[in-house]
Structure 1
Amino acid sequence: MIMSPFCIGPPDNDFDTSSLQRCRDILYINIFDELHVDQPKTDHERDQIIRERIARNWLGSIKIPFSNVYVNGRLEGAYRLDVPTPLLGYSRDKVSVTKMEATNVISPTSVLRMFITMEPLLAPPEAVQQSFDSTESLELLNYARFWVSDLNQKFPNRDYKATVSDINGRAVFIPRFLRPLPLPQLGLTGTDATSAAAAGVGVDNQIICQQLARFVSLIPFLSDTVIFPGLCDIWETSDQFLRTMSGDDEEHAVLLNNYFLTLNKNSWIAMGVSIYSGPCCFVLTKEPGQRYAICWSVADGRDASTIDTWNPIRSIYLLANQENIWANIQEQDIPSRMNFDVENSKNWRPFFSRSFPRDTLPWTSVQPSDLHYENTRTEDVNILHVQIQDMLRRKMVDWREANVTSWHHVFQKRLQDIIKRGSIANGTDIEAVLAEFRNTYNIVGFALQMPYTTIQAIVDTVYSTNIYKHATNDIQFALAVHIHPYPNNILAVWIYMAHLTPK
């Protein structure tokens, strides 16, 4: 067990609860491989002097916003280590065939079991009792209060809800946020695969779902506690979300679920607890005949089965689709121990039932019938590409002020060519292309991928890898930048960095 203290300060060093909720600091947990590298020696020194330097090669990281730690008081679980693919200079261990056949499960990456808290514990934000005007019928609102109150008496630790606040401060029934919505043209497969999938044409539905989850995860996250400190969660409709280009996990989950509905997926908005953020919203899918449900994280676009050990969801207490809401009334709320047959009234309590049928209520969605997508301007992307590349070059020189910073331009150009061909994620292709450099250099490098928010966020991420911390002049660096544009100025940024030392 390792204990590591971190010092984080709120804006203006103000420890008021509203100020603490606005703190946007990120907690970086980075994993390094520490090596002792021989330094060059003269011939007469070779047998008499040992000269080494310590090198720390970055292997991966975990990012956790401070606001998540503050709001929840503590976070605990097995955190998935974000290991770049490929990781030049390193190779992954293969899972043995015997283990694969025995468990039928392959862990895709490494995990760290961590417990995160604050010392001293700070006063948590006060819970807000939501009481708003509403366009819902009085009959529905009264029953919603009874339904939630009755559930809370039986399961006080589960945050059941039937209505949420929209951007105008009105209470809205959750299913009214859910309806099929037009898909964006992602253009990742050479054709408009998303439109083809929606039309039922022969396209791999799972691949399209992963592309859509990736697209949604690239929209910047901004917690409601930052925008509206001291207030409750605010839910935007999907068109409002795409206009503001920032939102909490609720907006991301609603948009992804609405995309899945267009693909005729059997999907729900799910509410539960994540090891990363505490209370959260995500998307859950389970097709007929599928043994285990799938949890779709809107933070990174990854999907995980409910039985996967690296699934970040710790508990699930509510499911909702465009027809109804179901409350988990099972004794267990751990996903791997739950039954997800919502038709089983012993495990799931529906909002609409025989005692309170839906047919008697007026029903319209708050979502629009269409979404507006705009193509991202290539000129703007090219300008941003140059700005990011120039900024990182200058920062590398600043960070290495005690040493010379030199660039291997031939290797750098080769990296940029690889990225343009779209084979950045194929480690085998990269190793083959760069084989000519292996004869004369030891090469260590990695690819960082992230949604674009600000250039400073990119600089902070690169800085956290410590790639600049090599106390020698006998080293060269390479940097390549790629930006993949999506509709509505949503951008995926790839930063490839490497360092080369002579053999």
Structure 2
Amino acid sequence: VRWRSYVVQGRGVPEGDTSYVLRRREDGSRTVLVNAATGRSYDVRDQDIPMVEVGLVIGEDNMWANVQAASRPSEMSWILEDSSLWQRFRKAGDAPLSELLLPAQGPVLYRQPTRLLAARLQAEIEDTLRTRVRLWRRPFATRTAFRPELTERLRSLLGGLEQRSAAVGATLGVAEAWDSAGSGGGIDLAVAHIHRLARAVTGHEVVGCPVHMPFKDMQSVLQAVRHTAVHEVEDPRASFAVACLTTPYPGQVLSVWVYVLALIPQR
């Protein structure tokens, strides 16, 4: 069954005025909203969607204003063909929008991924994180020791997460990728990952979690890692492990996975 894509304009929390991508199966069996900035998608029935108010849906050849009483995605009908709930801007027989509106930009040229750049960025992120973790831990007045022998093992674990994410996205499309990750398949993946991690750090209690994001700048990576608060572990016996995996995609898109773990010897 084919999917059709639209742009939805409305209001979100915490972003305020925002636009999401609407993905809708032609048979009406699935409808999801995608935050294009994060890549995260939500079934419209999910009550935790950050978009809390929908005002307008924009399609290839028409636009629909939401005129139903509800405006929260999980409480609305998404049957755009229902004229009592959605007001069409254009009537049947009108010229397609594509004939009336000129594109705002020329064709997008996607360059092939640069693996050398990704490798250099990967090393730079790891080195920068080690330096920053030491800096963030200065108030604890304790030595910060790293376990470089774990870097390759952790990177291998991150590789499994990236492969899973890329494979699900390629097979199902972004509309279903996150749904799969939240289903039984995602749970099985998490359990397998935890078991592999436990074997890699036998004899230690582990504090930390993998962080995943598209690369924007180094500051964004550092901020995301700092928010995990792994550096705040106060046990003087704790040592730390850092690993990064950077995977290039066409269009100079870089997928970044980071692991910063605190390892505390079990008593």
Q: TM-score, normalised by structure 2?
A: 0.78
Amino acid aligned to 2:227: S
Q: Is the 8 A contact 2:233 2:262 kept in 1?
A: no
> In the alignment, which residue of structure 1 is the partner of 2:229?
466
Which of the residues 20, 33, 48 maps onto 1:310?
Answer: 48
- The percent of aligned pairs where both chains have the same amino acid is 24
Q: Offset at 1:293?
A: 2.8
Q: Is the 8 A contact 1:294 1:306 kept in 2?
A: yes
Q: Is the 8 A contact 1:403 1:472 kept in 2?
A: no
Measured in 2, the distance between the counterparts of 1:389 and 1:286 equals 40
> In the alignment, which residue of structure 2 is the partner of 1:301?
39
SS of the residue 2:191 aligns to: helix
Amino acid aligned to 1:348: W
> In the alignment, which residue of structure 2 is the partner of 1:142?
none
Matched, 1:372 2:135: no
Measured in 2, the distance between the counterparts of 1:435 and 1:500 equals 11
Q: Offset at 1:389?
A: 0.9
Measured in 1, the distance between the counterparts of 2:150 and 2:206 equals 10
After superposition, where does 1:13-32 map in structure 2 within 5 Å? Answer: none
Q: Offset at 1:392?
A: 0.8
Amino acid aligned to 2:65: A
Q: Offset at 1:296?
A: 1.7
Deviations 1:264-287 (A, max 9, x none): 522221111112212211122332
Q: Is the 8 A contact 2:113 2:250 kept in 1?
A: yes
Q: Offset at 1:447?
A: 0.3
Amino acid aligned to 1:289: D
> In the alignment, which residue of structure 1 is the partner of 2:257?
494
Deviations 1:62-94 (A, max 9, x none): xxxxxxxxxxxxxxxxxxxxxxxxxxxxxxxxx
Q: Offset at 1:463?
A: 2.0
> In the alignment, which residue of structure 2 is the partner of 1:381?
118
Matched, 1:358 2:94: yes
Measured in 2, the distance between the counterparts of 1:274 and 1:398 equals 35
Who wins on radius of gyration, i.e. which is larger? 1
Measured in 1, the distance between the counterparts of 2:137 and 2:163 equals 27
Q: Offset at 1:476?
A: 0.9
1:441 to 1:335, Cα distance in 2 relative to 1, 3 A: closer
1:496 to 1:438, Cα distance in 2 relative to 1, 3 A: closer
SS of the residue 2:254 aligns to: strand
Q: Is the 8 A contact 1:407 1:478 kept in 2?
A: yes
The structure with more strand, counted as a fraction of residues: 2
Measured in 1, the distance between the counterparts of 2:235 and 2:70 equals 56
> In the alignment, which residue of structure 2 is the partner of 1:405?
144
> In the alignment, which residue of structure 1 is the partner of 2:207?
444
Deviations 1:362-421 (A, max 9, x none): 635416684311013221111111111111111122222311111223333321233345
Measured in 1, the distance between the counterparts of 2:96 and 2:44 equals 36
Using CA pairs below 8 Å that are at least 6 residues apart, which structure has the higher relative contact order?
Answer: 2
Amino acid aligned to 2:253: I
Matched, 1:432 2:170: no
Measured in 1, the distance between the counterparts of 2:96 and 2:218 equals 53
After superposition, where does 1:95-494 map in structure 2 within 5 Å? Answer: 265-291=3-29, 293-353=31-91, 358-359=94-95, 363-366=100-103, 370-401=107-138, 402-422=141-161, 426-436=189-199, 439-494=202-257
Q: Is the 8 A contact 1:475 1:502 kept in 2?
A: yes
Give the CA RMSD over aligned residues.
Answer: 2.7
Q: Offset at 1:438?
A: 5.8
The structure with more helix, counted as a fraction of residues: 2
**Structure 1 gaps, min length 5:** 1-204, 206-263
Measured in 2, the distance between the counterparts of 1:335 and 1:421 equals 34
Measured in 2, the distance between the counterparts of 1:298 and 1:320 equals 15
Q: Is the 8 A contact 2:57 2:65 kept in 1?
A: yes
Deviations 1:182-240 (A, max 9, x none): xxxxxxxxxxxxxxxxxxxxxxx8xxxxxxxxxxxxxxxxxxxxxxxxxxxxxxxxxxx
SS of the residue 1:488 aligns to: coil
1:437 to 1:374, Cα distance in 2 relative to 1, 3 A: closer
Measured in 2, the distance between the counterparts of 1:271 and 1:374 equals 30
Q: Offset at 1:444?
A: 2.4
